[in-house]
Amino acid sequence: MMYISWTLMRHGLDELLLAAHLFRPLRFLRWFMWWRVLRNRQLSHGVRIRRALEDLGPIFVKLGQILSTRRDLLPDEIAIELAKLQDRVPPFPGEQARAIIEKAYGCPIDQVFMEFNLVPLASASIAQVHTARLLDGTEVVVKVLRPDIEPVIRRDIGLMYILADKLQQYWNEGRRLRPREVVREFEKNLIDELDLMREAASATQIRRNFSQSKLLYVPEIHWPHCRRNVMVMERIHGIPISHIETIRAAGIEMKALAERGVEIFFTQVFRHNFFHADMHPGNIFVGRDGQYMAVDFGIVGTLSPEDQRYLAENFLAFFKRDYRRVAELHVESGWVPASTRVDEFEAAIRTVCEPIFEKPLAEISFGQLLLRLFQTARRFNMAVQPQLVLLQKTLLNIEGLGRQLYPELDLWQTAKPFLERWMSEQLGARAFLNRIKDNVPKWGEKLPQIPNLIHDVLEQAKSGKLQLQGDQEAFRLLRREIRRANQRTFFAILGSALIISAAILLGLDGYASRMIWDAPVLSWAMGITGALMLISNWPKDDRD
């Protein structure tokens, strides 16, 4: 914590600390902070936060990368600056990687690999990658978790929770930004990345999904050599997606490449319901034939069928500028409370979207529109949807890549036919026929039994043996409660009658005394008896 505090002060973030309500009485101390003289006062808060995270190390850098995608929580200036963070992590020694691999396999490395390059091909905050050859000569890459990385991650996450608590407690904006929620989301994704068997399974699933498609190529996983901290996969040779000039020089059509990227995203989200959620430029390559290649499947996302349909309908409603339907879908899906007034929500969405739609479609950012929608919905207490956060992050990445490849990319025109086709497959006549086709085997299995079942039911009905099975204890309790209710009603009527009669006797003003012996005593006795009958038969729950 001392190192973190010193790093924050060194980058001028002590100003944010002293701005907190708790420390306002100590603001005079800033005049004794000699290092303030050495600061570049031209630097914005976003730049200083980015530089502080870079100095704090790889885990904090990765937190900053994830925070950069949460523009619904951060000011734009800070989010844009955090998006510049890169994993500039020094590699650990190759000999150490070799020792980790040998321990995982329980044998010398030369019994598994013909060649193993001790110099890493790439290094990141969680793992690093080495090139190698299997005993049969196959080129592979070997991904190795950093040694003792899990205790370091859990320690740093614990510190992040402490910082999040303090931020929420002492900063006015802290509660709105929900820092603990952000750290919890970060923790989940990071812990998942520590299991390379999980990543291997995700890569295999996406490879299988695109096995009959030329859109995307996913390297093959060599399962016999995979462990929790070691993963071996086919080595690919492609052009990094960020090398635009090299891609152009290869004769690849940029417009078609950008549109295929959009199609890959929507295919994964809506057709496969299993999408690569970390599609930044470092994980995407292009083959010489223009086919996309993807690596690093540590973070993947899925949607429920309901979320899929609501998202598709939301997108289509946006295409038609039907804001009423967008508002209704948010309420129907449970993303905003059921008590939300649809007309107010519709007006808020229209206020946000109409200025955007005044631009040509090719200039409208689909990801930014979705982002603005989430920001508006948050004003109406929209619950955080982790699956939608991953989707938003991936969509922003995909759109950024597409616009980088082909600045005139019209994401709307590219996406609309796909979504309309998917909706017709899900809700139209074709979907109905497909569901029938899927259920035919089940119906064929049950159909021969149906005549016998109908015959048995009719026979039992004819002989009077047909009985409805139920919870006998529940029926017994219900009957007993009905009897008690009837008794209470009877005595309540009788008690009320006695009280009313007593009141009448007392009100006869002496006439009753001449007709009835000791009428006051009798009336009081009747009243007390009636009251006791009412109290004794009052339902217990109400009496308590």
Mean pLDDT within 148-161: 83
What is d(CA 418, CA 270) in angstroms, rounded to the nearest whole number? Answer: 9
**Number of Cβ atoms within 10 Å of the Cβ of 536:** 11
| Mean pLDDT over each residue of the chain, to the nearest integer | 76
Q: Is the pLDDT of residue 26 over 90?
A: no
What pLDDT is stored for residue 475 in this prediction?
A: 60
What the block records as the tokens of 21 is: 């309500």
What is d(CA 346, CA 464) in angstroms, rounded to the nearest whole number? Answer: 59
What pLDDT is stored for residue 86 in this prediction?
A: 62
Mean pLDDT within 293-306: 87
Mean pLDDT within 220-249: 93
What pLDDT is stored for residue 189 in this prediction?
A: 78
**pTM of this prediction?**
0.68
Q: How many helices and strands in the chain, by DSSP H and E?
A: 24, 11
What pLDDT is stored for residue 300 in this prediction?
A: 87
What is d(CA 542, CA 544) in angstroms, rounded to the nearest whole number? Answer: 5
Beta partners for residue 216, in sequence order = 292
pLDDT, tens digit, for every residue of 87-98? 566 789 999 999
Q: Is the pLDDT of residue 505 over 50?
A: yes
pLDDT, tens digit, for every residue of 250-289? 999 998 898 888 889 889 988 898 988 887 777 899 998 8
469 vs 250, residue with greater confidence: 250
Known catalytic residues are: 278
What the block records as the tokens of 42 is: 């031209």
Looking at this protein, which amino acid is placed at residue 61?
A: V
445 vs 515, residue with greater confidence: 445
Mean pLDDT within 216-237: 95
Between strands 275-276 and 300-301, the pairing is antiparallel
Mean pLDDT within 123-131: 89
Nearest to 393 by CA among 295, 269, 273, 308: 269
What pLDDT is stored for residue 196 in this prediction?
A: 95
Of the given ranges (13-22, 42-51, 113-122, 508-517), which has the lowest mean pLDDT? 508-517
Mean pLDDT within 511-537: 54
What is d(CA 205, CA 189) in angstroms, rounded to the nearest whole number? Answer: 18
Q: Is the pLDDT of residue 228 over 70?
A: yes
What the block records as the tokens of 306 is: 């309901």
Of 179-183, 414-418, 535-539, which one has max mean pLDDT? 414-418
pLDDT, tens digit, for every residue of 382-397? 765 666 767 777 777 7
Mean pLDDT within 173-182: 66
